[in-house]
Structure 1
Amino acid sequence: MHLADLIERYQEALLQKYAGRLLPEQRRAIAAILRCRTSAAGEILWQCNDCNHSLLNPRPCGHRSCPRCQNHEVTQWLARQRRKLLPVEYFMVTFTLPAELRTLTWRHQKKVYDLLMAAAAGILKTFALNDDQLSGEIGMTSVLHSHSRRLDYHPHCHIVIPGGVVNRSRRQWKKVKGKYLFNGQALAKVFRARMLQALQEAGLPVPDTPIKWIVQCQSVGRGQPALEYLSKYLYRGVISEKQILTDRNGEVTFRYIESKSGNPKTRTLPGADFLWLVLQHVLPKGFRRVRDYGFLHGNAKRLLQLVQMTLKVVIDSFKAQEKPVLPCPRCTAPLQFVQAFRPGWLSG
């Protein structure tokens, strides 16, 4: 079931109920998803060099909230991250904003999201430098999520960390021993203090929050499972169209995996409420939801190479995949790109 079909069906009801809350980014997402892979998005001309057959295909919208787009970008990102994988234990640290800050975050999304990611990365850098066993610089890949598995508004930040640090002055790699990195409760105490201070310095009205915040720090094995988990949510929006099960009697049912039990669950909502549930996770324009730090940063390639040499990492097998080949419908030979046309080019 396509999200665009549901938008067409329930857009009027959505506007009647949520027009006052829809942000410009969400309206742009609606427009992009509706025109995706239609003539309204423009067309691409393909040519077969074997049989000279020509083909016009509607263009994808390319919007990062569209579940039908960005599959190749996800594959490319995962391939790039695989080239950075190290033969060490990996950890995932999750920093979650308390429920009391969700209204503030919604009203100032870009600013609070930036503060969240900066605070989380800064805390982990500090813990790694001050740790008696490590005392060095860590590498991190951070991804912002605004949703729970039920698609409720639930801002949090996942950070994947290879288990080791670099001492720049000594040009030395030090490996984390065992499957323990940092204490989650200790991280949470510092997270609360730094985040509240950052919000106050930004001039935002900070409500009362609980004394205990939540930070989870867990081992995730050799890194590949964590990367694959994150890759699902990078470019394809918050829900896969395969998760949308039914649209009956004005209600939409979708499937999700419950985090505690790991069991599949379903949730049913009126069509307009379902669309709002999805659209509230459209990120501000230009916001970078994926960020690398430390020796995994793009400007630290030499430092990463030093770590890879020390650990005798072989990266030749991790090559970025090419875009899937579009076969000719007549002879199955690969079609060649000729030209992209803007919407309305025929009438012009």
Structure 2
Amino acid sequence: NKRRNLWREKTSKYLFKADNVAKVFRAKFIHALTHAGYRLPYQCPKKWNADCEYIGSGNSALTYLARYLYRGVINEDNILSYQQGNVTFQYKNSTTKQYQRITEPAVDFLWRVLQHVLPKGFRRSRDYGFLHGNARRTLLRIQLLLKVRLSPPPSRQLSKKCCPHCQGILQIIWLKHNRATTTLQPTAHVKRTH
């Protein structure tokens, strides 16, 4: 109890009611929206759903969150070898669900790992609900229901590759993926234009 500076001991097997959590979450969410200059449409339902599940004593949830939030970028078991300045590691391809191996220079491997390190002051958090990466359809549905006007993403221009000898612009005419090596570097065949 913040007003009285008292700690309340939990008397029963549940910590709070899901309906109360939904009400508090809705109030805090709407407060944050209005503070940022947004408002919900008047048709928005007054009662929200909170997905609350019983997880036992909580030790399993803490173990899972600790493993998820503070795990390393790559598991030590997936680093297979280090020989002559090259690191060989395996990863699970998200589309094929198969393990694949990569051998690359140690500097490139370290750069790959450092891309996952968060800047000072930031924390990794889990995406959940409509913010989850796989919830694109749900997010689109929400945007349609709320009549959100989305600006088109900025168009990206590809950088022009120049010939190191004559400084002419190179055009890629085809890519050959070399399956004999374990690196992911494609071989590009280019045509010079002056």
TM-score range, shorter chain: 0.3 to 0.5
TM-score by structure 1 length? 0.21
Larger Rg: 2
Q: Which has the higher strand share?
A: 1
TM-score by structure 2 length? 0.34
Q: Which has the higher helix share?
A: 1
Could you say which structure has the greater relative contact order, defined with CA pairs below 8 angstroms and 6 or more residues apart? Answer: 1
